[in-house]
Amino acid sequence: MLRFLIEKEFKQIIRHPFIPKLIFVFPCMVMLVFPWAATFEIRDVNLSIVDSDRSTYSTRLAQKIVSSGYFRLTDVSSTYPEALQSIENHISDLVLTIGQGFERDLVREGSAKLMIAANSVNGTKSGMGSSYLSAIIRDFADDLRSEQGQMQGAEAVPVIHIAPQYRFNPHLDYKVYMAPALMVILLTLLCGFLPALSIVSEKEAGTIEQMNVTPVSKFRFILAKLIPCWLIGFVALSLSFGLAALIYHLFPAGSLLTIYCFASIFVLVVSGFGLVVSNYSATMQQAMFVMMFFLILFILMSGLFTPVRSMPAWAQTITAINPLRYFIEMMRMVYLKGSALADMGFQMIALAVFAVFFNLWAVFSYKKTN
């Protein structure tokens, strides 16, 4: 009996004008476009410099900043209000003020003050921009110190240099960090929406009634919706592995088998969720809206963009009931760190619990008789 239902699901998917294309286009979109867009790396920060000192040092500093490649010098103003104007006009994001007597203070007293003003309407850009800028200025100070040390022949002032070693992603490449997590989003969207829409479209077409009047058990009917979804998820996932390797030269440090193993459970989780939503929805629109609402919530609270650990305690508690969080954690661990199944027992159990929960709910909320 199940065989006939699965056969029908596959025929319907293959003949659908849109879904077969989606299975291929979607992974390509997610892997080709999103990693470039979903990056926190800031480049081309627009910078205004107010140079009231007009000394060799101030010119050298300005040159050093511009040559770093992270900043684009928009204007050099002589007063701060003038520079502020360019922030207000959205010409620049940051203003660096070099006060009068910058060079003199540095030489005579060994210290001088600078001011950074940042346009925080775009918080990320201003935060990252000013920290880049501070780092360059620190570097400039180190340069000066060593020059002076050489000139005076005096004993060097003790300086602490920090040389961070970035494990698992040595170049702090954001794409390396995002790509595995984006695969999770891909699976979520594909395998969450497909079964939901498939059941609701049967409701809209009236065919579900013809099914409900047959002896097909609820469990079999739901299983027949899940199995094709599972396969689609695997195809899309494999495709994105290939694309990640091809484009970003990103290979999982751990085993692909571990990922497939987790993915097979995760697909059940999101598909089960989709089925639950569809059982309570009478129309496509309703199912779409409810799915969108929950998926956006899941995605924002998954640690995809912002680390779960830096969320407030109550938000962290909420992420505990977010299946995406566990799978994203697991994906990053396997892809970047090479973790094995044994290291991720907790995530595995959490996902398994979700899978059982949602699918049982889906079976019980599917009403053949009402």
Residue type, 2: L
Annotate each residue in 350-369 with x if it binds other proteins (CB under 8 A) or - if it does not, as one string.
Answer: ------------------xx
User: How far apart are CB 13 and other proteins at their closest, in Å?
Assistant: 10
The CA distances from residue 13 to 6, 17, 199, in Å, are: 11, 9, 13
User: How far apart are CB 358 and other proteins at their closest, in Å?
Assistant: 24
Per the CB < 8 A criterion, the answer to whether 31 and 240 are in contact is yes
Rounded-to-integer distance, Cα 336 and Cα 354, Å: 25
Nearer Cβ to other proteins (8/113)? 8
The runs of H, that is alpha helices, within 206-217 are: 207-212
Per the CB < 8 A criterion, the answer to whether 275 and 364 are in contact is no
The three-state secondary structure class of 76 is strand
User: Which residue stretch of 7-15, 61-69, 77-85, 278-286 sits at the interface with other proteins (rule: CB under 8 A)?
Assistant: 7-15
Which uninterrupted H or E stretch holds 48?
strand 45-51
User: How far apart are CB 305 and other proteins at their closest, in Å?
Assistant: 39
DSSP 73: E
User: How far apart are CB 3 and other proteins at their closest, in Å?
Assistant: 7
Q: What angle do CA 158, 161, 163 make, to 5 degrees?
A: 160
Nearer Cβ to other proteins (201/264)? 201
Annotate each residue in 201-220 with x if it binds other proteins (CB under 8 A) or - if it does not, as one string.
Answer: ----xxx-xxxxxxxxx---
Give the binding-site size for other proteins (rule: CB under 8 A): 25
User: How far apart are CB 216 and other proteins at their closest, in Å?
Assistant: 6
282 lies in the site for other proteins, by CB under 8 A: no
User: How far apart are CB 304 and other proteins at their closest, in Å?
Assistant: 36
3-state helix, strand, coil in the chain (%, to 5): 70, 5, 25
Rounded-to-integer distance, Cα 296 and Cα 288, Å: 12
Annotate each residue in 157-196 with x if it binds other proteins (CB under 8 A) or - if it does not, as one string.
Answer: ----------------------------------------
Nearer Cβ to other proteins (14/253)? 14
The CA distances from residue 335 to 32, 211, 297, 298, 347, in Å, are: 18, 43, 25, 21, 15
User: How far apart are CB 207 and other proteins at their closest, in Å?
Assistant: 5
Applying the rule CB under 8 A, the residues between 215 and 254 that interact with other proteins are 215-217
DSSP bridge pairs for 72: 46
141: its two tokens: 């100070």
Rounded-to-integer distance, Cα 347 and Cα 298, Å: 16
21 lies in the site for other proteins, by CB under 8 A: no
Rounded-to-integer distance, Cα 5 and Cα 19, Å: 18
Nearer Cβ to other proteins (216/261)? 216
163: its two tokens: 């040389």
Nearer Cβ to other proteins (93/202)? 202
Nearer Cβ to other proteins (131/214)? 214
Nearer Cβ to other proteins (337/368)? 368
User: How far apart are CB 288 and other proteins at their closest, in Å?
Assistant: 21
140: its two tokens: 């400039």
Nearer Cβ to other proteins (56/369)? 369
Nearer Cβ to other proteins (52/212)? 212
User: How far apart are CB 1 and other proteins at their closest, in Å?
Assistant: 6
Enumerate binding residues for other proteins (CB under 8 A).
1, 3-5, 7-8, 11-12, 15-16, 205-207, 209-217, 368-370
